[in-house]
Every structure is written in C-alpha cells, then in structure tokens.
Amino acid sequence: MRDVVIAGINAIRVSEYWERSLRHLAHDAIMPALEEAGVARVDALVVGNTLAPLLAGQGHLGALIADFVGLRGVEAVHVDAGDASGAAAFRWGYMAVAGGLADVVVVVGVEQMSERSAEEVNEAHASVLDQEYEGIHGLTPNAVQALLMRRYMHEFDVPREAFAVFPITAHANAVGNPNAMFRRAISEKAYAKAGPVADPLNMFDVSPICDGAAAVVLCAADKMGELAKTDKPLVRVLASAVATDALAVHDRKDPLFLEAAYLSSHAAYTQAGLTPQDVDVFELHDSTSIMAALSLEACGFAARGQAIRLAQEGGIGRDGLIPISTMGGLKARGNPLGATGVYQIVEVVQQLRGEAGECQVPNARVGMAQNLGGTGATAVTHIFGRV
C-alpha cells in the first residue's frame, strides 16, 4: 500500500442552483481543485451522487462529467452508497492510488435537489431505506430518525429541548464558513419555537434540501514532486474504512447503536494507530440532531446515552474535547447528499492546513470524517493527518 496525500481541494457554496445543471456544479468544483493540485494529468475520476437517476433521470454520471470537464478518455465511475456516496467515492479513489492502480485521482461529490418539490425529493430520498419493509409504509429518513430520537428520549430520559445544543453549535460555526447555506446563529428560544418536521424532530433538527459540489485530488505521496505542483501543506490519508449494518432499523440488534459507525471508526483507528483521544476535529453526519448524538457514542467520544451531556458541557465546541460540525455540518453548511462526504473531507483538510479562517480549530493535526448512508446502514470513515 502506498501513502496517499491530498494534492488539491475545492467546494462551491451550498445553495439552490436553479440555473446550473449537475454537470456545471461538478465542473465548478473540479477545475479549481485540479488547478490547486497543479496536476498535468488525471488517471481516473470518481463521482459520488445519490439522487440524479431518480430526480434528473440521469445515470452514467462518470462519463457525463468526465466529458464535460475535459477528461474524456479517462476511467470514470459513479459510486452509490446512499447518503454516504461522497465518502464512498473518495474511498474508491483512495484504494486506486494506494493500491498502485492510479497515481492521480480526482473525486467529486455532486447533488442537485432544489429544482424538485420537497415531496419529490423526500420520495426519492426514501430509496436509501428498505423499500419492502420501511418505504412501503411511507417512511422517509427523517421519519425513521424521528422514531430513533423518540426512543432515545425514552431510553435515556432526555428531554427534546436538550438536542438543541447540536443545531445551535452547527449554526454558530457556519457563521464563519463562506460555503455554508445558513450563516446565521440560532438561539435556544428559536429552537424551541421551530415547527415540527417529524415529531419530535423540528425544523432546526433537520438538514436542508440543497445543491452543492466538492472535489478532492488524490496523489501517491512518492509521485508528488513529479505529478503535482502545489505549495499547499500536504495532508495524508491515515485510514479509510467502511462497514455496513441492516438496512432496515427494525432488523438491528439495537436501533440506538450505530453498529456500522462503530465498526468503521474503530477499523480506522486501528489502521491509523490512533484512539478517539488523538482526534482533533470530527466532521460527523449530523443529518438530524439524533444522528449527531448516536455518532458520537458509536465512535467512542461519549458513553451510551451521554452524547448530549458531552455537548452541553462544551465538549463539541472548537475548544472542546472533540470539535464537531466545525464549519456548520450537514445542518447549517447544508446536506447535498452525494456531495456531503466530500464536503466533510474538504473541511477536515482545511482545518489541518490551518485554512479554516474563522472556523479554525486551534492546533488541529488529526481530523476524522464520517459519512452515513440511510439511517446508518453504511458508514464510511476516514482519518487524516497533516504531513
């Protein structure tokens, strides 16, 4: 296995792009990333996307985007792992470079949802669930996560208002992120007044429907001087791991424990030779407030039922035990599904380079990103370190 480094990154602002198509969004993310990396050639392009075949009727995204960005002829594929498609695409690129099958790979996560109604998006997004047992009853990811939140409140005697700490933290961090969709802090009072989405989840508990694209250029470390000309601080991929769980929540041994997140994070810790205490920043999959809590517990940052206590005691702030959602997370930066995992990686790299601006975590040297598919049926975890 070869060492792999990040040679270039770029992300566009998460927003609603009514006059730009999927290929245009991908182009706007890829070209500056390639320029920053200073690469003359690319061996492969990997695309992460969740809903284009359903919302746009567009499959075969690898060839589509390769052609549009001037990479016609290179190997190009689309990777689908539900909401975790962005991180899964990155892992595919990492494996290609680490395994010696490619020297330079560009990974792009891209999603466009805002042109469709909320009803159409929710119906399409429900495809990441088990259709024969969950979808058939009209469940959506938000509905399933609402059930998990209700059970968590009962099991651990947690009041609904206690979950406010997660969106409040995310929105406060997003204020300093120029790529965030919602750059406005919120208060406990605003959280309490927010309308319901799927009881007990309210508007501030749920990440928004939005569009976006982010790109990362991977290069073999021993080829950097030859193939990439960048003056940016190098960030190395220390670990890459994927695990799965039952697609339907009712088939899991314990619905309040994200087994896939546990397995992939602990496999990543082993690969990197690190523990949770060594991680300086964690971009977790806060698609809803309950998923933030469950992720912290599964990844070893809090004991069962204690994630909210950790958060309320300041443990998830920029100076806390484990800073999360440092640039707004899925909740405030936005959650463009198949692009989200790549946004997380871009943000971790910015933190480790010291380029996160107002969002900077002091002395960040090791960062972790975890992208979840569905309600945790797939978990993709990456750990990065500054060279």
As for how many domains the chain has, the answer is 1
340 falls in which pLDDT band (50, 70, 90)?
A: very high
Average pLDDT over residues 62-78: 98
- Expressed as residue numbers, the domain containing 19 is 4-116+209-227
Answer whether residue 40 is part of any domain: yes
The amino acid at residue 314 is G
Q: In this structure, what token pair is assigned to residue 12?
A: 């566009």
Quick one: average pLDDT of 210-229?
A: 96
**pLDDT (tens digit per residue) in 222-274:** 999 999 999 999 999 999 999 999 999 999 999 999 999 999 999 999 999 99
pLDDT at residue 96, as a whole number = 98
Tell whether 259 is covered by a domain. no
- pLDDT (average), residues 332-348: 98
Q: Is residue 11 part of a domain?
A: yes
The pTM (predicted TM-score) of the whole model is: 0.98
Mean pLDDT of 62-69: 98
Residue 8's CATH number: 3.40.47.10
20 within a domain of the structure (yes/no): yes
**What pLDDT was estimated at residue 215?**
98
Residue owning tokens 């680490």? 98
**What integer pLDDT is reported at residue 186 of this predicted model?**
97
> pLDDT digit string (tens) for 75-121?
999 999 999 999 999 999 999 999 999 999 999 999 999 999 999 99
C-alpha span between 87 and 347 (Å, rounded): 13
pLDDT for 308: 97
How high is the pLDDT of residue 200? 97
Task: Say if 220 falls within a structural domain.
Answer: yes
Amino acid 259: pLDDT: 98
149 in Cβ contact with 290 (< 8 Å): yes
Residue 25 resides in a domain: yes
Residue 67: partners with Cβ closer than 8 Å, 6 or more residues away = none
**Residue 35 maps to a domain:** yes
* Closest to 212 measured CA to CA, from 68, 63, 48: 48
Exposure on the CB side of residue 82, measured as CA atoms within 13 A? 21
Contact between residue 1 and residue 99 where contact means Cβ atoms under 8 Å apart: yes
Q: What was the pLDDT predicted at 188?
A: 96
Give the model confidence (pLDDT) of 126-144 as tens digits. Answer: 999 999 999 999 999 999 9
What are φ and ψ of residue 4, in 5° steps? Answer: -125, 135
Residue 111 belongs to a domain: yes
279-308 tens-digit pLDDT? 999 999 999 999 999 999 999 999 999 999
